[in-house]
Copies of this chain bind each other. A is one copy, B any other.
Amino acid sequence: MLLSKSCVYGLRASLYLASKRDGEFYSLKEISKELGISFHFLTKILQQLTADGLMESYKGPNGGVRLSQKGKDATLFDLVVAIDGLGLFTQCALGLPGCGSQEPCPLHESWMNTRGSIEHMLKRTSLIGIAREGKEKHFRLSAEGKFSWQ
């Protein structure tokens, strides 16, 4: 798969938060239940996003997580990089060390284009924007239609 499972779960949880009331905290228990993601696993992933400054968390009853300002301004690219790192956008398609035009592999030119189109797609898509569109058009965010944008 293009993105790791951690990354996909992080994206889905971020879309969830972006579609909810701004500034409010939502508990991981609720998010994991609605999206059908393992609670403990999701915890780890959102801890990463919190550490990265894309989310804020609050402990205790009525606690939870919410998007920070940085998170609200983020594109999908920012989220993907926060979890999967830059590998997808820097590595050689043939796995050779140091992808670059100094000593390209046979796929370099084609891959640079394709890689660029992936990167561009993620960079032009804002989290907030895609969440709004998803809410409007009732796109799905979980298997089995568990989640319904409220």
Contact = CB atoms under 8 A, between A and B. Distances in A.
A146 B118 CA distance: 31
Contacts of A141: 94, 105-106
A145 to B, nearest CB: 8
A53 interface: no
Contacts of A97: 143
A105 B138 CA distance: 9
Interface stretch (A3-11, A25-33, A64-72): A3-11
B106 A15 contact: yes
B1 A140 contact: no
Contacts of A121: 110-111, 113-114
Contact of A96 (B105, B125, B140): B140
A108 to B, nearest CB: 7
A91 B114 CA distance: 18
Interface string A55-98: 00000000000000000000010000000000110010111110
A20 interface: no
A23 interface: no
Given A105-B141, A114-B118, A118-B118, 19 more contacts: A1-B87, A1-B88, A2-B2, A8-B94, A8-B95, A11-B94, A12-B94, A76-B107, A94-B141, A96-B142, A97-B143, A103-B145, A104-B139, A106-B130, A106-B131, A106-B139, A107-B125, A110-B125, A114-B121
